[in-house]
Structure 1
């Protein structure tokens, strides 16, 4: 994903110019990889407020985490609530402390090793799809995840949803786009849902922020 930065930056700027001229009131959902970096570029290129430029990654990554937990526990994905924070890539931060299976903590159903394996599956899920397909990358899951964001924007779904947004002090981070739980509405981002993280989860989130700053030359 990170090797696409320079090529896709040029594409993003072309698209942003078209959006500015043809749909200046639009809410933009970025799907292009590397997702977090390209969402930053879309913000820069459109000049839109952060509320109107969202990245799809958190929704997709969280679905992969839920599916991994469901398979390990032998339950339906609908019985699992779980989400990831951080980058759409190696610095992704699945959050086991807030995950639930049938409304109960993970350690009631899974061993620590099983939970760690599910975290690893969530982080490597996109790469596994690319390896299996051999040409191209995932298409159906990103489309479904984008639809989920649209349903939250138009009010068909409520509650926080994982989405990549520009942070302005939330979780002690500013100036980078990361996946976080947030409330969406007709204007796009309403607010980031501030949740309590463990020390390890907080460290993982800040590590992701530092990695994105480095790739964008901001550090």
Structure 2
């Protein structure tokens, strides 16, 4: 699938924005890449550094600019905002980052109203809800990075336990990108067989509480990384490039991104992550995921938690 005049704008040139830019360049996803930041010198420095690697990637023009560069963009990625501190939950960032998002959206809408908006700043589900309410874009074109990284962590942890490549494991985390995210064990599968069947036939069976242990690992992964190195950015950089690729190349990949729900899951009053089919138009459709009663209840509780945060802001 060839690329023709694809423009990606990344707002925010911190660790996350720079990592997304780097992953996007390596994958050769666009012909124009623009970094926008209130700290112009930081953005210039990142562009200079990335530009020195241009001999090793497909042709692309990289530059900095202001909101006027949003004009003509196919995808605008928002990463700007306050960082999550050690022991701080993603929802603790609501007040500060909602104000930043509001200012960014006003800047974008002066120049571009047809681009797909990819929101990465935390708390991503709450901010995706606010953007859906604020923006003049169609709902299917306002996307949060959601639980795509949580899903990747879930598959990685299962792969380590099972001794099977993470690429061969089909399992999803839905709900909040955060402390109430729900790993779906009941529909997880390997080679077309339920994960439960693999566990039943294993020569070294897991202990009775293994699902709770895996859930805890998935949920605390970001805290572990932040405590050790101050921030997470490589994983989200790669996962966001994967989202951008599915959009620009119209690949129709199924990814657990966040969006405002008003379809087969019902109107939950918040953006939240479920498996979505992504292509040129953004979210083409959402897929119903199989859940057992406990998982379904956890998903509803996750939605209620997010809805409460949105209501407090409103």
TM-score by length of 2: 0.65
Say if 1:173 and 1:206, in contact at 8 Å, map to a contact too: no
Correspondence for 2:91:
2
| Distance in 2 separating the partners of 1:193 and 1:7 | 33
4+ residue runs over 6 A deviation: none
Tell me the secondary structure at the aligned position of residue 311 of structure 2: coil
Tell me the secondary structure at the aligned position of residue 179 of structure 2: coil
1:154 counterpart = 2:154? no
Correspondence for 1:210:
304
Correspondence for 1:58:
147
The Cα shift of 1:85 comes to: 0.5
For residue 127 of structure 1, the aligned residue among 210, 223, 226 is 223
1:167 counterpart = 2:261? yes
For residue 31 of structure 1, the aligned residue among 103, 115, 120 is 120
Tell me the secondary structure at the aligned position of residue 97 of structure 2: helix
Instruction: Give the direction of change, closer, same or farther, for the CA distance of 1:115–1:128 in structure 2 (3 Å limit).
Output: same
For residue 106 of structure 1, the aligned residue among 195, 198, 203 is 195
| Distance in 1 separating the partners of 2:269 and 2:309 | 13
Which moves more between the two structures, 5-14 or 114-123?
Answer: 114-123
The Cα shift of 1:156 comes to: 5.5
TM-score by length of 1: 0.92
Structure 1 portions without partners, runs of 5+: none
Correspondence for 2:295:
201
The Cα shift of 1:79 comes to: 2.1
The Cα offsets for residues 173-199 of structure 1, whole Å up to 9 and x where unpaired, read as 432110100111211111111123211
Tell me the secondary structure at the aligned position of residue 137 of structure 2: coil
Correspondence for 1:116:
212
Say if 1:106 and 1:115, in contact at 8 Å, map to a contact too: no
The Cα shift of 1:80 comes to: 1.2
Root-mean-square deviation (CA, aligned residues, Å) is 1.8
How many residue pairs get matched? 217
Correspondence for 2:270:
176
Q: Which has the higher contact order (CA 8 A, sep 6+)?
A: 1
The Cα offsets for residues 68-127 of structure 1, whole Å up to 9 and x where unpaired, read as 101111222122111111001111011111212333222223535333322221122112
For residue 170 of structure 2, the aligned residue among 72, 81, 104 is 81
Structure 2 portions without partners, runs of 5+: 1-89, 200-204
Instruction: Give the direction of change, closer, same or farther, for the CA distance of 1:200–1:172 in structure 2 (3 Å limit).
Output: farther
